[in-house]
């Protein structure tokens, strides 16, 4: 078998064919997948619509040390600071799916209209799952907001096949890329990748640290918790972070999801381990990917913060269109 996306020397996270997450769990089998799907028949229903009370129209730029972060929905963020605009994991499509007629359907509109986006200096795409790498959105942005698309190894091949106008640049864990006054670091995460049935772990995935002259932002798209050493190592490398984007949803049932997604208790543990001053909880309430009720992630986050004596305003479960600002 040949990797269709990437060819390079083996490393501690690439065996010559597939990428691996050091300390991660084994792949789930198709039998386990079917067991989960069969057991999910009686899961609590989600509402057909779950509209956000917020909507945002971002400014063209945010200069100086002021930081403005808009939560677009699911795992999509717009980061504005020091005159630089970064868009992360943009998904404006109605479904997180390779199909327009099937797959998880969004229950709220993006918190920013695509036409209301400012000009972009870079787009960051963490990995190739459909709820993070949305072909239709990236094709539209390649025309309407052209800029480099920074993504882990192998994903450039996928993006160029989607549309040659997508200016994809692929980088390994540990890479650093300057975007204006900002520096984007590619960091490890305990996750996996696939666009189809036969390409599991053939493209890399990552978390990002966005280093500005005045702050550090840690964006985790998807990760498991493992033994916590990934997050301890990140703090040792980067120091305490000012703002963390941490997933809080898509975690049930735990026997199946623990190896790929954190739950709110683990998100609060990551918050502690990386020394975050503040956090925004995402990856909940937009696309139904797993079995938990729609409001449960936010409710569990609140209880976890109370147990850890963390003020709730320090770690918010965001809704689409919320804008977070700091001087």
CATH code, domain carrying 123:
3.60.15.10
pLDDT at 160 over 80: yes
Q: Report whether 108 contacts 50 (CB < 8 A).
A: yes
Predicted confidence (pLDDT) at residue 27 exceeds the cutoff of 90: no
Q: Which residue has the higher pLDDT, 326 or 161?
A: 161
Quick one: angle between helices 135-144 and 155-162, nearest 10? 70
Tell me if 24 is assigned to some domain.
Answer: no
Bridge partners for 124 per DSSP: 88, 150
Residue with tokens 């997050």: 231
Residue 33: pLDDT over 80: no
Kindly state whether residue 6 falls inside one of the protein's structural domains: no
pTM of the model: 0.96
Mean pLDDT value across residues 185-198:
96
Per-residue pLDDT averaged across 2-31, rounded? 89
Q: Looking at the domain assignment, is residue 243 inside a domain? A: yes
Per-residue pLDDT of 280-309, as tens digits, reads 999 999 999 999 999 999 999 999 999 999
Is the per-residue pLDDT at 37 higher than 90? no
Residue 260: name the closest of 226, 289, 224, 225 by CA: 224
- The confidence band for 25, taking pLDDT boundaries of 50, 70 and 90, is low
Residue 18 pLDDT exceeds 80: yes
Q: State how many domains the chain has.
A: 1
pLDDT at position 88 is 98
Asked if residue 133 belongs to a domain, the reply is: yes
pLDDT tens digits for range 42-67: 788 999 999 999 999 999 999 999 99
As a whole-number percent, the residues of the chain with pLDDT over 70 amount to: 99
The whole-number pLDDT of residue 117 equals 98
Structure confidence at residue 26 (pLDDT): 74
The answer to whether residue 31 scores a pLDDT higher than 90 is: no
Integer Cα distance of 72 and 93 in angstroms: 12
Whether 208 is in a domain gets the answer yes
For residue 326, the model assigns a pLDDT of 83
Answer yes or no: is 9 within a domain: no
Residue 253: cis peptide before it, omega within 30 degrees of 0: yes
End-to-end CA distance of the chain: 52
pLDDT attached to residue 327: 66
> Is 176 a residue whose pLDDT tops 80?
yes
pLDDT digits (tens, 9 = 90+) for 108-158: 999 999 999 999 999 999 999 999 999 999 999 999 999 999 999 999 999
Q: Is 219 among the domain residues?
A: yes
Q: Residue 318's domain spans which residues? A: 30-40+55-326
Mean pLDDT for the chain overall: 95
């Amino acid at each position: 078998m040949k990797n269709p996306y990437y060819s390079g020397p083996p490393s501690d996270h690439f065996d010559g064919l597939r990428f691996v997450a050091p300390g991660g769990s084994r792949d789930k089998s198709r039998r386990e997948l079917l067991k989960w799907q069969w057991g999910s028949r009686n899961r609590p229903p989600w509402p057909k619509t779950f509209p956000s009370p917020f909507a945002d129209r971002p400014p063209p730029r945010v200069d100086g040390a002021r930081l403005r972060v808009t939560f677009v929905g699911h795992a999509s963020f717009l980061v504005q600071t020091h005159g630089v605009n970064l868009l992360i994991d943009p998904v404006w499509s109605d479904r997180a799916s390779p199909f327009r007629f099937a797959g998880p359907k969004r229950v709220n509109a993006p918190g920013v209209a695509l036409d209301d986006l400012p000009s972009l200096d870079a787009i960051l795409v963490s990995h190739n799952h459909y709820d993070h790498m949305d072909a239709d959105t990236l094709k539209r942005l390649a025309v309407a907001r052209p800029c480099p698309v920074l993504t882990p190894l192998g994903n450039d091949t996928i993006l160029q096949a989607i549309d040659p106008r997508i200016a994809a640049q692929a980088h390994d864990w540990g890479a650093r890329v300057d975007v204006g006054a900002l520096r984007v670091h590619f960091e490890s995460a305990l996750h996996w990748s696939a666009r189809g049935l036969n390409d599991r772990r053939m493209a890399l995935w990552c978390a990002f640290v966005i280093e500005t002259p005045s702050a550090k932002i840690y964006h985790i798209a998807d990760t498991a918790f493992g033994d916590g050493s990934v997050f301890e190592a990140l703090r040792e490398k980067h120091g305490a972070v000012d703002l963390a984007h941490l997933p809080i949803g898509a975690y049930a049932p735990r026997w199946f999801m623990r190896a790929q997604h954190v739950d709110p208790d683990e998100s609060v543990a990551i918050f502690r381990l990386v020394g975050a001053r503040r956090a925004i909880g995402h990856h909940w309430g937009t696309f139904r990917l797993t079995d938990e009720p729609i409001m449960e992630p936010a409710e569990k986050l609140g209880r976890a913060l109370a147990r850890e004596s963390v003020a709730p305003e320090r770690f918010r479960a965001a809704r689409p269109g919320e804008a977070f600002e700091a001087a």
